[in-house]
Amino acid sequence: MVINIMNPGRNGVADWIIQRASAVILGLYTIFMVAYLLFHPDLDYTAWSGLFSHIWMKVFTLLALVSVAAHAWVGLWIVATDYIKPAAIRFGALLFVILALFVFVVWGVQVIWGV
């Protein structure tokens, strides 16, 4: 049994499920966005802000944002624990990642709810 204090989930299964579930959500969001942009080549501000004024789109986008944070956190935690062996530097790098992801989420929420 390997004990680790900075692992995201309670255990390996939780991390794995979080990574897979967030991946599926992000996959769906990506397909939707790409399809939307492809089918609206002459997009203007009215249509674009109109899309994000719908509550379901706000919820979907917020879900995608949280999924990005979860997915990126699990992935980058694994990368950090693979390559950065000195504990202090690894801790610093992971702290930076958490802060960056937190900023992205807050930033995104502010943008969505500003529409």
Identify whether the C-beta of residue 70 lies closer than 8 Å to the C-beta of residue 25: no
Angle between the 55-83 and 87-114 helix axes, to the nearest 10 degrees? Answer: 170
Binder of other proteins out of 5, 45, 86, 87 (CB under 8 A): 45
Q: Determine if residue 83 is labeled as part of a ligand binding site.
A: yes
- Angle formed by the axes of helices 12-39 and 55-83, to 10°? 130
How far is the C-alpha of 112 from the C-alpha of 106, rounded, in Å?
Answer: 10
Among 39, 44, 56, 86, interactor with other proteins by CB under 8 A:
44
- For position 4 contacting other proteins by CB under 8 A, the verdict is yes
Which positions lie near other proteins, rule CB under 8 A?
1-4, 7, 9, 11-17, 20, 23-24, 27, 30, 38, 43-46, 48-49, 52, 68, 72, 75-76, 78-79, 81-83, 97, 100, 104, 107-108, 111, 114-115
